[in-house]
């Protein structure tokens, strides 16, 4: 299915800041924008399956409250009234939250995650909860317990993962903004495959309170948007210290927008040799190298650098993340909440049956890998060694930032691949995150920004910053985006529906 521009004039096709300008001028209301988003979801989601639940009535009520506040002359935030798609891994009070797993199919949380609370306080209109790889374990959103999500650029292909539902929703015009989580690339990789902007913030910059954990030392919440300005504004909205999260960074001012338009002139950018691996698709490499030339023309000073530990990051990640997953998912035992298997002989049988029925194949695979890596006699040989590699990755990045302001490379080695192509080959699937994983191990910040098309499908350029370097990173991403001027959009809702 070939890409085509959506119909002109629809509020569903505007960015968040374009909607905000219309709200301020009286040309549109939050209710109208929400209605347009809900209409787009109704027209496209039977095919895309980006959403697991659409909270239309709640969204319209929230939008109406924003419009009423605006009429009263209240001072509102820059995203007040703008619709958003929320990954179903953040708990929402009174609204089912599944993490893409059958084991939580009927779980209705009694409270909001901190990120959700901050979005509501900012007047952002939450449209519903989006599909994802189960417990955020995957790179294609094919591992969801509720069926795969499809890429709006080509509905026979994956949107990436694990935050594929939010990425597809933003790309398809179902919402101008989205929230995802990134444990090993799960914001940046789907952003690249769906042709949008995705930000993995510094670990601890955004609260994880109310985030259903996969790997607690790696998980981080971040924004999706159609352009860098919206992504920066959304990051400012959700970031900041949270006393409910022990890993939250205290007393750090979050300013991603005041210098967004300052350009890249004079920035020192390291081109990471290990991010240009054999096996990367030629079209991806071509667009990324064109992107490097663009940055240089804009005034950035580029120089190749080598980070040898990146070669071992993937292996280290697939020991550390499953180990933490094994520990975190032990709580799903059929006793306290979630699924409970019936007709069990005893409590042990009940736990076994519950986990067998509730967890999908990829979750079971990672739980077993992690349990093995943590077991007596193997801990030092596997998990301990992986943590040493993690330390090397962090140290090499710290050293690199003595020379460079930013690092750069591809976001993903391929464009979106056909649904089912890698589903039965875990190693091939894991390699989709080979360029994104080192950032998570180090806890640094990174963004994927659209860099053009290869065979009609989007390619992402990844900019990597030191911890708390989001302002410089987004400034470079904005300059690149504005100079490239990429206006191509995926298929219209009429084509998706057909």
For residue 273, give the H/E element and its range. Answer: none
DSSP state of 202: P
The dihedral through the CA atoms of 189, 190, 192, 197 has a sign that is: negative
Contact 141, 131 (CB under 8 A): yes
Give DSSP secondary structure letters for 379-410.
TIIIIIHHHHHHHHHHHHHHHHTTT-SEEEEE
Give the pairing type, strands 406-410 and 457-465: antiparallel
Distance (Å, whole) CA 24 – CA 238: 22
Contact 128, 53 (CB under 8 A): yes
Token match 């209301």: residue?
A: 29
Which of 217, 174, 221 is closest to 198 using CA atoms? 221
Give DSSP secondary structure letters for 345-389.
SSHHHHHHHHHHHHS-HHHHHHHHHHHHHHSTTTTIIIIIHHHHH
Contact 114, 105 (CB under 8 A): no
- Catalytically annotated residues: 87, 162, 186
Distance (Å, whole) CA 408 – CA 406: 7
Burial class of residue 404, CB neighbours in 10 A (0-12, 13-18, 19+): buried
For residue 31, give the 3-state DSSP assignment: helix
For residue 306, give the 3-state DSSP assignment: coil
Which of 462, 352, 353, 335 is closest to 409 using CA atoms? 462
Distance (Å, whole) CA 74 – CA 71: 8
Distance (Å, whole) CA 238 – CA 267: 27
Distance (Å, whole) CA 120 – CA 114: 10
Cα separations (Å) of 110 from 90, 95, 206, 481? Answer: 12, 9, 21, 41
Distance (Å, whole) CA 334 – CA 98: 15
Tokens representing 372 are 């093995």
Beta-carbon count within 10 A of 343 CB: 7
- Helix axes of 385-400 and 310-328: crossing angle, nearest 10 degrees: 130
Tokens representing 390 are 């993690």
For residue 283, give the H/E element and its range. Answer: helix 282-297
Distance (Å, whole) CA 292 – CA 126: 36
């Amino acid at each position: 299915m070939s890409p085509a521009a959506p119909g002109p004039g629809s509020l569903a096709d505007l960015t968040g800041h374009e909607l905000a300008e219309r709200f301020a001028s009286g040309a549109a209301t939050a209710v109208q924008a929400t209605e347009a988003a809900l209409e787009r979801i109704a027209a496209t989601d039977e095919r895309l399956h980006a959403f697991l639940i659409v909270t239309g009535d709640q969204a319209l009520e929230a939008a109406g409250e924003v419009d009423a506040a605006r009429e009263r002359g209240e001072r509102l935030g820059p995203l007040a009234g703008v619709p958003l798609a929320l990954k179903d891994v953040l708990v929402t009070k009174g609204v089912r939250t599944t993490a893409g797993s059958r084991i939580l199919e009927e779980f209705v949380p009694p409270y909001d995650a901190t990120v959700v609370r901050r979005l509501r306080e900012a007047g952002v209109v939450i449209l519903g909860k989006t599909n994802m790889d189960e417990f955020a374990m995957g790179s294609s959103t094919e591992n969801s317990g509720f069926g795969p999500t499809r890429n709006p650029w080509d509905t026979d292909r994956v949107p990436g993962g694990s935050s594929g539902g939010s990425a597809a929703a933003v790309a398809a015009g179902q919402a101008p903004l989205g929230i995802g989580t990134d444990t090993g690339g799960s914001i940046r990789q789907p952003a690249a495959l769906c042709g949008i902007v995705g930000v993995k913030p510094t670990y601890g910059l955004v609260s994880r309170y109310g985030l259903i954990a996969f790997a607690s030392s790696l998980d981080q919440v971040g924004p999706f948007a159609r352009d860098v300005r919206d992504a920066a504004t959304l990051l400012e909205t959700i970031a900041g210290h949270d006393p409910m999260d022990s890993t939250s960074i205290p007393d750090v001012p979050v300013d991603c927008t005041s210098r967004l338009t300052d350009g890249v002139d004079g920035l020192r950018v390291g081109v990471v040799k290990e991010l240009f691996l054999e096996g990367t698709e030629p079209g991806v490499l071509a667009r990324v190298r064109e992107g490097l030339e663009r940055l240089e023309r804009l005034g950035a000073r580029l120089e190749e650098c080598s980070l040898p530990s990146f070669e071992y990051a993937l292996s280290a990640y697939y020991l550390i993340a499953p180990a933490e997953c094994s520990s975190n998912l032990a709580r799903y035992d059929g006793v306290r909440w979630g699924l409970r298997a019936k007709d069990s002989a005893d409590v042990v049988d009940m736990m076994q049956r519950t986990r067998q029925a509730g967890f999908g194949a990829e979750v079971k695979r990672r739980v077993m890998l992690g349990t093995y890596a943590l077991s007596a006699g193997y801990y030092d040989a596997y998990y301990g060694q992986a943590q040493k590699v993690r330390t090397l990755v962090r140290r090499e990045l710290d050293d690199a930032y003595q020379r460079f302001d930013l690092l750069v490379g591809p976001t993903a080695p391929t464009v979106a691949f056909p649904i089912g192509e890698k589903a039965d080959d875990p190693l091939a699937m894991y390699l989709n995150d080979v360029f994104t994983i080192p950032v998570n191990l180090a806890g640094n910040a990174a963004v994927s920004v659209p860099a053009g098309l290869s065979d009609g499908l989007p390619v992402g350029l990844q900019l990597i910053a030191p911890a708390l370097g989001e302002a410089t990173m987004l400034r470079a991403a904005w300059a690149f985006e504005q100079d490239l001027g990429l206006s191509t959009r995926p298929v219209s809702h009429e084509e998706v529906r057909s």
